[in-house]
Amino acid sequence: MIELRHISKSFASRKVLNDISLGFEQGKCNLIIGESGSGKTVLAKCMVGLLKVDTGEVLYDQRNFTRMNFFEKKIIRQEMGVLFQGGALFDSMTVEENIIFPLSMFTEKTVEEKVDRAQFCLQRVNLTNASKLYPSELSGGMKKRVAIARAIAVSPRYLICDEPNSGLDPITSIVIDELIKEITYEYNITTIVITHDMNSVLEIGDNIAFLYKGDILWKGNKEQILHAGKKELVDFVYATKFLREFRKRVIE
């Protein structure tokens, strides 16, 4: 369970997040959706402490992360798997080394066990022949998948993914969605997925929060989202003219 209490964040004079309070349940896929520039990534970075919040607090299972010092934060961070929007792979390391790195830092596993773990994670993201390549030799979608493999390799208690399937083809997207869902249920972890892909929303959205210009305008789940009446959300969900027509005929 991750809790956000009254989070606000501005850059210079521009307010990006406006008093956000949200809870993310354990064992569920919690989604944050919203259009580009609405503040999703900023919110995620505030959550993991990469950006300092102006006001508010973040709690990880009742532990107040915002108030912690550097060393206490480090301990919580070892329980996190974070996927950055840009992947953020270490480009001096091969794919396999990228995945093994956090394991070497924090576990006493043997080399063999670590390689096995890396292979296992790579298999789960449908990427098996790339372990000896460097990030510069990968395509955008492959990088993303390696980054996901790295985030799940440490068996995190909290999984935070910033747009896990942007830049992936529809088939691989579904594989990744399935994977996130499986891991979340199997290990009963708290998962937060940031996305603006409606397919994912309808596939894995146990809890959905709609972020609009720094405010949470709507909360619900994947069954409710298609019937929601909020104008900004309707515009987001039914983005094309065709879908808007469809909504008029079928839902209203």
Partner 1 sequence: MNLLFHLGKYFILIKRVFRKPEKYSIYRRQLLIEINSLGIGSLGIVSIISVFMGAVITIQSSFNFTSAWIPIYAVGLATRQGIILEFAPTIISLILAGKVGSNIASEIGTMRVTEQIDALEVMGINPAGYLIMPKIIASMIINPFLITISMFLGIFGGWLFGIITGVVSSYEYIYGIQYQFRPFSVYYALIKTIVFAFIITSVSAYHGYYTNGGALEVGRSSTKAVVYSNILILVFNFLLTQLLMA
Ligand X SMILES: Nc1ncnc2c1ncn2[C@@H]1O[C@H](COP(=O)(O)OP(=O)(O)OP(=O)(O)O)[C@@H](O)[C@H]1O
For partner 1, the binding residues (CB under 8 A) are 45, 48-50, 70, 73-78, 80, 82, 84, 86, 88-91, 101-102, 104-106, 154
16 binds, among Mg ion, ligand X, partner 1, none (CB under 5 to 8 A by kind): ligand X
Residues 6+ apart with CB under 8 A from 34: 40, 196, 210, 211, 212, 236
104 binds, among ligand X, Mg ion, partner 1, none (CB under 5 to 8 A by kind): partner 1
213 binds, among Mg ion, partner 1, ligand X, none (CB under 5 to 8 A by kind): none
Which of 41, 207 has the CB closer to ligand X? Answer: 41
CA distances in angstroms from 200 to 89, 164, 172, 209, listed in the order given:
24, 10, 12, 14
Q: Count the neighbouring beta carbons within 10 Å of the beta carbon of residue 226.
A: 16
89 binds, among partner 1, Mg ion, ligand X, none (CB under 5 to 8 A by kind): partner 1
Burial call 140-157: b when 16+ CB within 10 Å, e when fewer: ebbbbbbbbbbbbbbebb
Q: Do the beta carbons of residue 211 and residue 38 sit within 8 Å?
A: yes
Q: Rule CB under 5 A: say whether 41 interacts with Mg ion.
A: yes
Residues 6+ apart with CB under 8 A from 115: 96, 100
* Contacting residue, 2, 22, 31, 42, with ligand X by CB under 6 A: 42
Question: Which run of H or of E encompasses 248?
Answer: helix 241-250
Q: Rule CB under 6 A: say whether 37 interacts with ligand X.
A: yes
How far is 150 from 161, CA to CA, in rounded Å? Answer: 12
Which of 73, 196 has the CB closer to ligand X? Answer: 196
* E strand residue ranges, 153-237: 158-162, 190-195, 207-212, 215-220
Q: Rule CB under 6 A: say whether 41 interacts with ligand X.
A: yes
Q: Rule CB under 6 A: say whether 39 interacts with ligand X.
A: yes
Query: Least distance from C-beta 110 to ligand X, angstroms?
Result: 39
Which of 41, 98 has the CB closer to Mg ion? Answer: 41
Footprint of ligand X on this chain (CB under 6 A)? Answer: 11, 16, 34, 36-42, 85, 196
